A and B are shown apart, each in its own frame.
Chain A
Amino acid sequence: MGSVSFDTYVHRESVIHRWAPRLKLLSLLGLMFAFATVQNLALVPWILALAAVLYGLSSLPLSFLRRRLSYPGLFIVAVVVLLPLTVGDTVLGQWGWLTLREEGLRAALLIVGRFLSILTLGFVLLGTTPFLTLLGAMRSLGLPTILTDMALLSYRYLFEIAAMLTTMQQAMGLRGFGHRRQGWLRVNRQTLEHLALLTGNLLIRSYEQSERVYKAMRLRGYGQGSAPRQSTTPRPTALCWGLTGAVGAAAIALVAAELSWLR
């Protein structure tokens, strides 16, 4: 986990990078939900094309998308493999015991099309907006202070705690943990206990660190009422409004096309 960085490409120059964070967040989330409404397979090329255009405009390298798409999850893999072979009555082809069915294939293509396009938009949003700016935009849109503060502090200590766990696991390995062979399909009680104690130690260390952090924050005035905030956010430019309008229009057109198809 330590090798994955949130903010690698956020300082590049592109129209998507220059898009005002609040408008970008609302527009892209709206478009993601419009993508989720798609049930008609004929609309899938359109949503993939829209996601590709926005990704192209964001100037993010293809390697960024490829690296992140390498974690599609077992569930999507199961959908792609199982649905075309198990669901539906219309047989498209048969090879021995393998039967390719049209209904299952259509369902799998629809799910994978939506998955790829929504995920790509998510990466456009997260790859072009610094994490702190994104949280600031969420807060200005009404996210409660407790949630923002928790997200900021968790983000601050996430990689530190991950490094702590790696060190602790290395120490366990050096003391011989994991070197003994275990029986198949059996949970070794001692292994379970050792891993539970490892997690317990991680929690205690994090808890003790949190007490030090809290004292330091109190000394700096945390919880004493917030200072008047000065608005430093620049006014959205015509380009921002143009992008917002175009993405909003695309989202509305998709939903309208889906509704007209349903009728």
Chain B
Amino acid sequence: MHIPDGILSAQVCAAGYAVTGLATWYSLRQINRRSDPTADIPKASLLTAAFFVASSIYIPVPPASVHLILNGLLGVVLGYFAFPAILIGLFFQALVIGHGGLTTLGVNAAMMGIPALVAYHIFQARTSLGRGLKEPTRTGVFAFLGGALGLGMATVIFVALIILNIPAELDGQAERTAVLALAIAHIPLALVEGAFTTVLVLFLRRVKPELLEG
């Protein structure tokens, strides 16, 4: 779900870099408030590499397969490190396989990274909003919401950007139909991503709970 080079105008690309700059500054400010900000850098870096590699895992849905995005999961596990991690991961993808692009790096990072930060806050809200639920249902429900909404929000941003930028000759009805079709097509993917995040987070909660401390 990357927007490649050449699709968006220079103004939109520049706006993408501005939003990404702002989100990176905000994330780094939150990270630098910790007593030892450097302590989590190796953890975040290795997990960035692991997420980059794990996003190459495909879920078989015969006759095809579904490629995981994992931005919601990244938010849940990495907290404020998720945005820099996504920025670096996307830079590697542009570098290694030419997916995405250097002019659209800002737009793509904002599209994936801001939903990851939202997913982090949703998952953290389990202690306040999920008081009525028992463990591990509470962790599972909020992990599902984080994973599914992470992808869902990224999809909405992706569709909005594409529809607003391609091309002027399309009529309004065609635009509405395309938005609806694309959004509906992504609902099952968001559910798969949510279910995947739930299983994985419950596994981590059992085996390595410190990974979920954000």
Q: How many angstroms between the C-alpha atoms of A181 and B66 in the bound complex?
A: 16
Contact present for B46 and A213 (CB under 8 Å): yes
Main secondary structure of the interface of B (DSSP, over half): helix
Kindly state the separation between the CA atoms of A234 and B71 in the bound complex, as whole angstroms. Answer: 41
Assuming the A-B contacts A146-B31, A187-B61, A192-B195, are A107 and B167 also in contact, with contact meaning beta carbons closer than 8 angstroms in the complex?
Answer: yes
Would you call B53 an interface residue if the criterion is a C-beta within 8 Å of the partner chain's C-beta atoms?
yes
Interface residues of A, CB < 8 Å — how many?
Answer: 86
Which chain B residues in 169-214 approach chain A with CB under 8 Å? Answer: 169-170, 174, 192, 195-196, 199-200, 203-204, 207-208, 211
In the complex the two chains form, what is the Cα distance from A4 to B96 in whole Å?
A: 7
Q: Is the CB of A202 within 8 A of B54?
A: yes
> Contact mask B103-133 → A, CB, 8 Å, 1/0?
1000000000000000000000000000000
B101/A210 in contact, CB under 8 A: no
Binary interface encoding of chain A residues 177-220 relative to chain B, with 1 for a CB under 8 A from any of its CBs, else 0: 01001111111100111011111101110110111011001000
A69 part of interface (Cβ distance < 8 Å): yes
**B46: chain A residues within 8 A (beta carbon):** 153-154, 157, 161, 206-207, 209-210, 213
Of A36, A186, A207, A223, the contact of B38 (CB 8 Å cutoff): A223
User: In the complex, what residues of A have CB within 8 A of residue B53's CB?
Assistant: 1, 158, 161-162, 165, 202
Query: B43-84: which have CB < 8 Å to A?
Result: 43-50, 52-54, 56-57, 59-63, 66, 77, 81, 84
B157 in the interface, Cβ–Cβ < 8 Å? no
Interface residue stretch chosen among B87-95, B134-142, B148-156: B87-95
Asked if A71 contacts B98 (CB within 8 A), the reply is yes
- Interface residue? B163 (CB, 8 A): no
Contacts of A188 in B (CB 8 A): 60
Q: Given A107-B167, A122-B101, A202-B53, decide whether A114 and B5 contact each other with a Cβ distance below 8 A.
A: yes
The answer on a CB contact under 8 Å between B6 and A111 is: yes
**For residues 126 through 154 of chain A, which have their beta carbon under 8 Å from a beta carbon of chain B?**
126, 131, 144, 146-147, 149-154
Give min CB distance, A58 to chain B, whole Å. Answer: 16
A68 touches B98 (CB 8 A): yes
Shortest distance between the CB of A258 and any CB in chain B (Å): 9
Closest to B57 in A: A195
Nearest CB in chain A to that of B94: its residue: A122
Taking the nearest CB of chain B, how far is it from the CB of A181, in angstroms?
8
Let me know if A104 is at the binding interface, CB within 8 A.
yes
Expressed in whole angstroms, the minimum distance between the Cβ of B16 and any Cβ of chain A is 11
Q: Is the CB of A187 within 8 A of B103?
A: no
**A112 contacts which chain B residues (CB < 8 A)?**
6
Is A37 at the interface (CB under 8 A from chain B)?
Answer: yes
Instruction: Mark out the residues of chain A between 76 and 122 whose CB falls within 8 Å of any chain B CB in the assembled complex.
Output: 76, 79, 83, 86-88, 103-104, 107, 111-119, 122
A-B CB contact pairs (8 Å), 20 listed? A29-B102, A36-B8, A75-B3, A83-B167, A88-B169, A118-B103, A122-B102, A131-B95, A146-B28, A150-B45, A154-B49, A158-B49, A182-B60, A191-B60, A195-B196, A196-B196, A197-B200, A203-B77, A203-B204, A204-B211
Beyond contacts A4-B96, A36-B9, A113-B6: 13 other A-B pairs, Cβ-Cβ < 8 A, are A35-B103, A76-B4, A111-B166, A115-B5, A117-B6, A119-B5, A119-B98, A149-B45, A150-B84, A162-B53, A196-B196, A206-B47, A213-B46
